[in-house]
Structure 1
Amino acid sequence: MTIGFIGLGHMGFPMARRLADAGHQLVVYDTRAEILDAATAFGATAASSARDVADRAETVLASLPSLQASADVATGADGVVHGSRIRRFVDLSTVGSAVAQRNQRQLGSRGITALDAPVSGGVAGATNGTCARGNPR
């Protein structure tokens, strides 16, 4: 199964690398070309946009630095909402309930399940695979 990963910053890059190290095929996107180059060095395939990731993967994870970045990646003009293959969007960012609910409504209207799953544990947790995530209840 190919997994999409958008946002390869301090948290996203090590999480994506751990997925690749575990044997998953990854298609990734980041706005910085040098980060995409580093990701292809560990076996990921670079995409040209968030939508391109969502055209190639049924499950897409995102680790983004801001509310606006999360909204743009999820529902913007070139966002995952327009992807042809995506079925699940997991936002690992800390976006707050208003943005998460808006993303869920807009993605849900296209048949995409959206999960708000912020992680904690910092860069060390991402690197070591010990990040915590919230309980859905």
Structure 2
Amino acid sequence: MTPREREMQRVGFIGVGAMGGPIAARMVERGIPVLAYDRNSEALAEAGRRGCAVASSSREIVDECEIVIACLPTVDICRTVALGPDGVVDGRKVKIYVETSTIGGPAAVEIAEGLAARGIMLIDAPVVGAIMALEAGTLGVLASGPRDAFERVEPMLATFAGRLFHLGDQAGMGQVGKVMSNAVSYACLLSTCEAVAMGMKAGIDMGTTLDIINQGSGANFFSQRVAPNYMLKGRLGGTGTMEIGAKDVKLFIEEAQRLGAGTPVADAISAIQQTVIASGPAGRDTMTYIHYFTDLAGLPRTESKA
């Protein structure tokens, strides 16, 4: 491949943090040249070490790449990056913008409409399965947006997706699928932690409580894949902050309200999340939810070995 051909195929990537960084690195491993940017200099340096070219700003990316992927932590940041000053909307070269962040349906529609006014197509494509699924090759991508734009980016998405869904042309449908999946994920996480704490209170060790759950019909992704590799080993970091999870469940509730669907279970999950977050400190990893339930049971906290 000539330098010119590599430049034409190069994909921009904005947000190379906990999830975006490994995705961008996987694309590079699979032969896709990536130009990356992140406001966090450490995350950006790590992306450079893993083979990405490094940009000085997100504006540089949208001026240099026709296809740009974003993986960002909050709805407000996503709006600013897409539609704010020097955002994607002002890019000289970008034609297709792939939003892998969890932002909810209304925000996806807002971004799609804002970009469409400048001739830029949005592919709303949040991912499901987290970092462990990416590593295992089972990550899901829930895409929606114009079919021709999807077909153009499909080979890039396939470098890191175990399964690709195209949920239609309407922006926001990918977000519906993502918040639906996340609501179930957090129900499994909290119910598993609650059951583990109860079993430990009765005198069963943590590993055996997980084995029992996984032997029965209550087995779930968290109990089978996450808890044994993180919580059980004392690794209480690296899975994302509580605040991001609380945002995701809130987006599910808002989407359900918009559609006229009930959310009694998600309401209960959200209430627990808000209670734990309010107890501080901010920025704790999702794995530390186990502390909330062991505290309720009057048990010593699991110590972090990471």
Aligned partners of 2:134 and 2:120: how far apart in 1?
Answer: 26
Whether 1:31 aligns to 2:62 is: no
Off by >6 Å, runs of 4+ in structure 1: none
Checking the alignment, whether the CA contact within 8 Å between 1:51 and 1:81 is kept in structure 2 is no
Aligned partners of 1:34 and 1:78: how far apart in 2?
Answer: 23
Whether 1:136 aligns to 2:144 is: no
TM-score (norm 2): 0.43
Which structure dedicates a bigger proportion of its chain to helix?
A: 2
Aligned partners of 2:87 and 2:102: how far apart in 1?
Answer: 18
**Alignment-derived partner of residue 91 in structure 2:** 83
Whether 1:73 aligns to 2:81 is: yes
Aligned partners of 1:81 and 1:121: how far apart in 2?
Answer: 30
* Residues 119 and 38 of structure 1, relative CA distance in 2, 3 Å threshold: same
Aligned partners of 1:116 and 1:102: how far apart in 2?
Answer: 11
**Alignment-derived partner of residue 101 in structure 1:** 109
Residue ranges of structure 2 left out of the alignment (5+ in a row): 1-8, 143-165, 169-306
RMSD: 1.1
* Residues 13 and 128 of structure 1, relative CA distance in 2, 3 Å threshold: farther
Q: Percent identity?
A: 37
TM-score (norm 1): 0.94
Which structure dedicates a bigger proportion of its chain to strand?
A: 1
**Alignment-derived partner of residue 56 in structure 2:** 48
**Alignment-derived partner of residue 121 in structure 1:** 129
Return the offset for 1:69. Answer: 1.0
Aligned partners of 1:59 and 1:109: how far apart in 2?
Answer: 17
Aligned partners of 1:36 and 1:122: how far apart in 2?
Answer: 20
**Alignment-derived partner of residue 3 in structure 1:** 11
Aligned partners of 1:75 and 1:125: how far apart in 2?
Answer: 31
Q: Which has the larger radius of gyration?
A: 2
Higher RCO, Cα 8 Å, sep 6+:
1
| Aligned mate of 1:13, from 21, 36, 48 | 21
**What is the aligned residue count?**
137
Three-state SS of the structure 2 residue aligned to 1:70 is helix
Return the offset for 1:118. Answer: 0.8
Return the offset for 1:123. Answer: 1.4
